[in-house]
């Protein structure tokens, strides 16, 4: 039977108590904007609710920790709720682990247009428009479990379109046990859509603003349209002010553009176009495929300084927070065969790479340097097997740089 068409916004994981990361050496103007970026992203969510003919708003938890966010964070959220109240727009909120209602001060009064789902049981709410029920929301706040407890969402069947609202990890197979038409979920900072037979069945909207290089790409919220035939259309709406990007480059890409500087610049221009005028925070990962490519790439610290100077102060800015050069697996055979300290060093490094080589223990060497911090000595004493090859790669690269005349940044500062 045809039902009512409706439109709503789904958002979650505001984390208004948490600042953005990777702020090292950031220019002051950008640092100031990063401080307010999570707040501006949240405002964009509610502004969209006021300007897009929205019937209601669904929030799936972890909006803010009241103690950590402080009065400013709480006032910001309450002001947005009150704006929706003035527009007669209801809000349905299933709290996560961070925004547990028990953590809220008793003096803070949540506006009456906000329905806060309890965490000890699922609550079935009819959403009414013009005197008619347009859908049902079955919501429950987090009870502290990492995974969504699907049996806790059981409710009586009805004809109206049913939307589950919760916070926690869940697979599509788990969600299908509840037999709801759609799920609005929280607890993941990166957006995730769960599909079945080509149709989206559940959405983790993710945080409106990414916080670090572990949360790359577009961040925002969802506008969800449901037509009278129960067809669902999910639209991803960006709200982020800064966009984090992890960029992997191969040394063989340099030949196509002439230099590593040209390659970095070309990639930044492409990212800026994709980001639509947002500031970028970039982590570079460059893989050298030979000793010759190391020469083409040059010193990593100098390259990082260059790309920051060239692109990190624009409007919008593309700030490079890190630049890692992954060393080649093999260096030129002629270097290995040299009757030099470099040749000796490469041959010793090759011996340590063999599977039958003994565990690397640098404790005797650290004892020759009593000024080393105890934590550094402990880390060097016995390198875990899982980090052994990576450590050898970086140590070999550093040795090659020094023995071929390079001066890493830490040498210049010592």
Tell me the pLDDT tens digit for each residue of 97-143.
999 877 888 888 899 999 999 988 899 999 999 999 999 999 999 98
Contact 307, 320 (CB under 8 A): yes
Average pLDDT over residues 324-345: 86
**pLDDT over 90 (residue 190):** yes
Give me the DSSP letters along 25-72.
T--HHHHHHHHHHHHHHHHHHHHHHHHTT-SEEEE-S----HHHHHHH
Structure-token pair, residue 224: 């969800």
Q: What span, in angstroms and rounded, lies between the C-alpha atoms of 298 and 285?
A: 14
User: pLDDT for 18-73, tens place per residue?
Assistant: 988 766 678 888 888 998 999 999 999 999 999 999 999 999 999 999 888 888 99
Between helices 260-275 and 300-311, what is the axis angle to 10°? 40
Contact 341, 348 (CB under 8 A): no
28 phi and psi angles, rounded to 5 deg: -50, -45
Instruction: Categorize the per-residue pLDDT at 409 as very low, low, confident or very high, splitting at 50, 70 and 90.
Output: very low
Side-chain half-sphere exposure of 395, counting CA atoms within 13 A: 17
52-61, 191-200, 363-372, range with the lowest pLDDT:
363-372
pTM of the predicted structure, to 2 decimals: 0.84
**pLDDT over 80 (residue 387):** no
Average pLDDT over residues 188-197: 95
**pLDDT over 80 (residue 359):** no
Q: What is the percent of the chain where pLDDT is above 90? A: 57
Query: What 3-state DSSP class applies to 141?
Result: coil
> What's the CA angle centered on 183, arms 17 and 101, to 5 degrees?
35
Between helices 341-353 and 388-403, what is the axis angle to 10°? 170
Instruction: Tell me whether strands 56-59 and 91-94 are parallel, antiparallel or unpaired.
Output: parallel
């Amino acid at each position: 039977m045809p039902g009512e068409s409706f439109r709503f916004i789904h958002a979650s994981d505001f984390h208004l108590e948490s600042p953005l990361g990777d702020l090292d050496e950031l220019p002051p103007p950008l640092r100031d904007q990063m401080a307010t970026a999570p707040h501006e992203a949240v405002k964009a969510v509610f502004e969209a609710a006021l300007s897009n003919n929205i019937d209601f708003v669904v929030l799936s938890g972890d909006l803010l920790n009241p103690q950590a966010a402080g009065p400013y964070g709480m006032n910001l959220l309450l002001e947005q709720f009150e704006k929706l109240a003035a527009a007669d727009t209801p809000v349905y909120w299933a709290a996560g682990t961070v925004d547990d209602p028990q953590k809220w001060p008793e003096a803070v009064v949540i506006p009456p247009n906000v329905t806060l789902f309890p965490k000890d049981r699922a609550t079935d709410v009819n959403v009414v428009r013009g005197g008619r029920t347009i859908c049902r929301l079955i919501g429950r706040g987090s009870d502290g479990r990492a995974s969504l407890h699907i049996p806790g969402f059981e409710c009586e069947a009805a004809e109206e379109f049913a939307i589950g609202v919760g916070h926690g990890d869940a697979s599509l197979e788990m969600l299908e046990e509840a037999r709801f038409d759609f799920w609005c979920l929280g607890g993941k900072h990166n957006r995730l859509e769960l599909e079945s037979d080509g149709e989206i069945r559940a959405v983790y909207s993710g945080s409106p603003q990414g916080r670090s290089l572990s949360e790359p790409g577009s961040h925002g919220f969802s506008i969800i349209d449901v037509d009278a035939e129960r067809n669902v259309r999910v639209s991803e709406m960006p709200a982020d002010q800064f966009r984090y990007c992890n960029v992997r480059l191969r040394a063989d890409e340099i030949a196509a553009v002439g230099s590593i500087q040209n390659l970095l610049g070309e990639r930044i221009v492409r990212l800026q176009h994709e980001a639509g005028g947002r500031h970028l925070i970039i982590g570079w990962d460059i893989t050298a495929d030979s000793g010759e490519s190391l020469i083409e790439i040059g010193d990593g610290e100098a390259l990082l300084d260059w790309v920051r100077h060239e692109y990190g102060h624009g409007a919008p800015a593309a700030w490079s927070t890190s630049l890692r050069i992954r060393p080649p697996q093999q260096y030129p055979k002629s270097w290995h065969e040299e009757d030099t300290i470099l040749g000796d060093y490469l041959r010793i490094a090759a011996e340590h790479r063999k599977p039958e080589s003994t565990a690397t223990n640098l404790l005797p060497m650290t004892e020759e340097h009593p000024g080393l911090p105890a934590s550094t000595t402990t880390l060097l004493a016995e390198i875990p097997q899982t980090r052994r090859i990576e450590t050898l790669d970086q140590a070999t690269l550093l040795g090659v740089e020094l023995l071929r005349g390079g001066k890493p940044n830490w040498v210049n500062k010592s």
